[in-house]
Amino acid sequence: MRRLWSEFLVAALVGLPGAAEAFWDPITDACQPPVIAGVGEAIDGNTLVLQTTGDTRLVIRLHAVDAPDPGQTCRADGEPWDCGRAASRALAGLVDGRELQCLACGYDAAGRTLGLCRDGDVDIGAAMVRSGMAMGRAYFSNALHASEVRAQMEGLGLWRGDFVDPLAWRQGRRLGAGPCRGCVNP
């Protein structure tokens, strides 16, 4: 039943151009102007540095998005792969050297600015989720949920095999050698 609902949601939100953006999306409520503009550089799969005018460098963690950390290993077709490095490369492909516009959405526990960042019309966090290289953490976000369901259904990125949720990985859980237990498995 849940899969049917997910397929319906994807068809409704992703299948129609602009449909997801037409819905009110609660994650944006916390994000307020002014827009912070600068040239991006990826640090890892969900964190970037924004070089603004002058010598100001602002570290921004993508709001409501979680990607594997550097060194995190996933498994596809029974073989391990460095999904943390792959997530970092995916974000680098989206932001490195590009002029980005970000809205600040608060701060995380490490004091980093949480932000929604765009390159023109491309929402960087949503693009990471859509590619399967990150998970959405906004449980009431129409656009992020639809993007994640689509990546799952298409077996993209992390969803092509077994992986430990990045939050659980940071808490010490690791992917075992045997069948996937206590991890995310599509």
Percent of the chain with pLDDT over 70: 79
- Strand pairing partners for 40? 50, 96
Percent of the chain with pLDDT over 90: 59
Domain assignment present for 91:
yes
Domain assignment present for 182:
no
Domain assignment present for 184:
no
Across residues 124-137, what is the average pLDDT?
95
pLDDT in tens, 133-162: 999 987 767 788 889 999 999 999 999 988
pTM for the structure as a whole: 0.82
Domain assignment present for 104:
yes
Say which CATH number the domain at 58 has: 2.40.50.90
Across residues 104-126, what is the average pLDDT?
92
Confidence of residue 179 (pLDDT cuts 50, 70, 90): low
Domain assignment present for 185:
no
CA distance 184 to 166: 10
Domain assignment present for 186:
no
pLDDT of the residue at 140: 65
Across residues 61-69, what is the average pLDDT?
95
Domain assignment present for 176:
no
3-state secondary structure the chain: CHHHHHHHHHHHHCCCCCHHHHCCCHHHHHCEEEEEEEEEEECCCCEEEEECCCCCEEEEEECCEECCCCCCCEEECCEEECHHHHHHHHHHHHHECCEEEEEEEEECCCCCEEEEEEECCEEHHHHHHHCCCCEECCCCCHHHHHHHHHHHHHCCHHHHCEECCHHHHHCCCCCCCCCCCCCECC
Domain residues for the domain of 25 are: 2-170
Domain assignment present for 178:
no
The total of structural domains in the chain comes to 1
